[in-house]
Amino acid sequence: MNRLKVAACAVLAMSGASVGAWAAEPAGAGQTELGGPAVAGVCLLSQQAVLANAKAGVAASARLKQLADQAQAEVDGERGPIQADAKALAAQKAGLKPAEFQQREQALGTRLTALQQKADQRSREIEATRVKALGRIATEAQPVIAAVYKARGCGLLIDRGTVLGGNMAGDLTAAVVQGLDAKLASLTFERETLPAGQPAPAAR
């Protein structure tokens, strides 16, 4: 049976990148070499680095991993007895009538299918929880970004991840992290619950 499809390294992915990649994103040697004068009014921001470094983002990542681990343990706990029964049935096959063996095998298959459905359900719920946590952080960060943008006299805000090189003096990321930390120092939540079969909401 497949394990829960919840990757702890990507629980806070805003654009498909991992938290580890966000943390390793700062300007590299190529940007430093290109350098150049600061461009007035042009500012940069890495939303990914904000999530990776802000206290709320770190707390949310840790909590999501904890919830994913708990869900995985729940599924694993139910998988063990099914596997044990399957092994026992295989050992008894020679002494069972074909009809009885088939009946017991089908019963095991039903249990296995139900468990797979539960694993899929938990995976969707973890994803829904991730989306909701990201939404909360994004909502809290928006006014902080706006305030830093205004204070720095920005006229244009660019995603730092799209910049190939240049003067990084207009990078607002550290200031936004500091402001978000002052506003939202931590974040805790429980796993979302979804009706069976309902897909997790898409990240906004």
| Lowest-confidence region among 19-23, 104-108, 112-116 | 19-23
As for how many domains the chain has, the answer is: 1
CA 107-108-112 angle, 5° bins: 120
Torsion of CA 15, 158, 145, 60, to 10 degrees: 20
* Residue 44 forms part of a structural domain: yes
In a domain, residue 165? The reply is: yes
In a domain, 102, yes or no: no
pLDDT of residue 12: 40
Q: Is 57 part of a structural domain of the chain?
A: yes
Cβ neighbour number for residue 160 with a 10 Å cutoff: 22
Q: For residues 81-97, give the mean pLDDT.
A: 93
Residue 45 pairs in a beta bridge with: 159
Q: Which amino acid is at 166?
A: G
Q: 166 in a domain, yes or no?
A: yes
Burial of 50 (0-12, 13-18, 19+ CB in 10 A): buried
Residue 147 is which amino acid?
A
Domain for residue 129, yes or no? yes
Separation between Cα atoms, residue 194 and residue 65, nearest integer Å: 19
Per-residue confidence (pLDDT) for residue 196, from 0 to 100: 75
96 has a pLDDT exceeding 60: yes
Mean pLDDT over residues 161-190, rounded? Answer: 94
C-alpha distances in angstroms, 145 versus 26, 76, 94, 199? 18, 43, 70, 31
What does 50-101 look like in DSSP terms, one character per residue? Answer: HHHHSHHHHHHHHHHHHHHHHHHHHHHHHHHHHHHHHHHHHHHGGGS-HHHH
Q: Is the pTM for the entire model greater than 0.85?
A: no
Candidate from 137-141, 149-153, 167-171, 199-203 with smallest mean pLDDT: 199-203
- For the chain, what percent of residues have pLDDT higher than 70? 80
Domain-embedded: residue 151:
yes
Domain span at residue 150 reads 8-66+124-183
pLDDT cut 90: percent of the chain above it: 73
Structure tokens at 23: 């943390």
**Which range among 27-31, 122-126, 131-135 shows the weakest confidence by mean pLDDT?**
27-31
Confidence grade of residue 25 (pLDDT, cut at 50, 70, 90): very low
Cα–Cα dist 80/64, whole Å: 24
> In this predicted structure, what is the pLDDT of residue 199?
65
In a domain? residue 107? no
User: Which CATH number fits the domain that encloses residue 50?
Assistant: 3.30.910.20
Confidence of residue 198 (pLDDT cuts 50, 70, 90): low
Task: Round to whole Å and give the CA distance between 1 and 114.
Answer: 11
Q: What is the mean pLDDT of residues 88-115?
A: 94
